[in-house]
Structure 1
Amino acid sequence: MVHVLPQLPYAADALAPKMSKETIEYHYGKHHQAYVNNLNNLIPGTPYENMPLEEIIVKAESGPIYNNAAQVWNHTFFFFTLSPTPKSMPSGKLAEAINRDFGSFDAFKEQFTKAAAGLFGSGWTWLAADDNGKLSIVSESNAGNPLRKGLHPLLTVDVWEHAYYIDYRNVRPDYLKNFWELVDWNTVEKRYEK
């Protein structure tokens, strides 16, 4: 199976000024593409050669195949959560679950932002659900993904420096503040309803 870089559902400049065209060109066009290329070069002749990304993430031992497969999946998931015309707040069952598990939407955003801002080094902060629909915030270093813990990812923010350095330099909190204005809660709700 050959993995490919998925086409974004918006133009490279559509998220500007919160996420610049240059950031999309480097982060999506170069970093994301490099993970796809690396994975395609690593899997021929291995048990992972014909597996979909999610299966590789769950089954592969830590190392280059896992890292590149997870980074392809994580980045795709991240970019497809963003929108130039996002629904700005959750509703329905997801909103109820956020209120139940975090107290309020504002409390959830505060906890999630604090986790993402405080993650040392490179990685991802996730909103994930267990099989019963209970929500949790999970921070993972490097290519970490909550699929390996049996959880269902709903939302993520990339806190590798390449995600924000062009636009925000070393000020991760400013990046996180603007991230919330790009999250499309329609997409997150559909993931929760599955």
Structure 2
Amino acid sequence: GHINHSIFWKNLAPVREGGGEPPKGSLGWAIDTHFGSFDALIQKVNAEGAALQGSGWVWLGLDKELKRLVVETTANQV
């Protein structure tokens, strides 16, 4: 799990550095477009995480073929 944990910790930021707030700009637009709202994305991520059996990860990614943001899960470290 080292790689996943490293990515997780590097992507956290305090509010004074732009963290803790919904994304703005192109990422915020894409989230609103593909999920309806930031709150809807959070609900999707929480639901996917709750559905995992045991430990695992929930990822927000870009499907290049569909040209849209997607939420995917992986079990443990892959």
TM range (shorter): 0.7 to 0.9
Question: Which one has a larger percent strand, Structure 1 or Structure 2?
Answer: 2
SS at match of 2:41: helix
Aligned pairs (5 A) from 1:10-49: none
Answer yes or no: is the 8 Å Cα contact 2:62–2:69 preserved in 1. yes
Partner of 1:135: 69
Q: CA separation in 1, counterparts of 2:12 and 2:52? A: 21
- Deviation beyond 6 Å, 4+ runs, structure 1: none
Answer yes or no: is the 8 Å Cα contact 2:61–2:72 preserved in 1. yes
Normalised TM-score (structure 2): 0.82
Answer yes or no: is the 8 Å Cα contact 2:62–2:70 preserved in 1. yes
Q: CA separation in 2, counterparts of 1:103 and 1:83? A: 24
1:81 matched to 2:11? yes
Q: CA separation in 2, counterparts of 1:118 and 1:131? A: 25
Partner of 1:161: none
Q: CA separation in 1, counterparts of 2:56 and 2:20? A: 26
For 1:142, the aligned partner's letter is N
Structure 2: gaps spanning 5 or more residues = none
1:105-154 deviation digits (Å, cap 9, x = unpaired): 1111111111112211011010011236410000110113xxxxxxxxxx
Structure 1: gaps spanning 5 or more residues = 1-70, 145-194
Residue 113 of structure 1 is aligned with which of 46, 49, 54?
46
1:96 matched to 2:26? no
- Residues paired across the two proteins, number: 74
SS at match of 1:113: helix
Normalised TM-score (structure 1): 0.36
Cα drift, residue 87 of structure 1: 4.1
SS at match of 1:107: helix
For 1:129, the aligned partner's letter is L
For 2:34, the aligned partner's letter is D
For 1:92, the aligned partner's letter is G
> Among the aligned pairs, what percent are the same residue?
36
Residue 57 of structure 2 is aligned with which of 124, 136, 155?
124
Q: CA separation in 2, counterparts of 1:92 and 1:112? A: 21
